Amino acid sequence: MIALLVAEWRRMLIDLVRYPLETVSMMVVMFAVFAGMFFGASYLTQAPISGPNLTGVVIGYAVWTLVMNATGFMGYSIQNEAQNGTLEQVMLAPWRTVQIFLVRGVMDILEMLIPVLAVLAGLVALSGAHLLWRPIALVPALMTIVTAWGIGLLMAALALVFKRMSQLQLMIQFALLFIIIAPITNLGGAWGVGLGVLAPLSVQVSVLHTALGVAAAPASLTMWWEAAGDMVLWFGLGVWLLGGADRLARQRGIVGHY
């Protein structure tokens, strides 16, 4: 397992050194998209976005950029491996497929962390949002990342069987943007609670908002348990589906298909 971690760490560093323009371009795009959303919404409403709503939007967008890479990377990785003809080599490695892509997911988060934090600093400077950092926020942040890994494993399972699914990935990522920016738990009532528990990332982002001081009331113990349960549900589902897709692809002999 240590050899796998070292190999993926070296691969991440090589990518950063060889393709620095890709990272810089990604940061510029993330910043430009938010600037367009921010000024566009202010123009349409004829009023600036301010207060807790502004802070919530900034946090939500930063979380979405991190989640987007965590969920999309695994699926795109399988598609690229299949296109390059190296997927069979990955599948023949002495580690389980789930282990390989989980380690890749961890390295992708580490690779994205500095660019996302840099973009977040730029968003705060542009919008004037006020962030109240608290150490307890690390817990819901980690819950959010683990849940995103579960969704990423689910996307990897679909990519392993169907190979080409770029449009489906885009649909899911924009659906996650809606869930993160406007958490379903805010709907209230039985529907809001039920959908909030089942929808990935919704409860975790709500708890993260309370931990960062966006919401006035602190998160209840029930919300913390719901966030933990949602994390376990989606991560477990991702691991189980990728294991099943791995066996199915091997049985049908479609691992190297493109």
Taking alpha carbons only, the member of 90, 97, 101 closest to residue 150 is 101
What tens digit of pLDDT does each residue of 170-219 get? Answer: 788 778 877 777 666 655 555 555 666 677 888 888 888 787 766 656 66
Which residue has better confidence, 47 or 127? 127
Which pLDDT score is estimated for 16?
Answer: 72
Judged against a pLDDT cut of 60, whether residue 226 lies above it is answered with yes
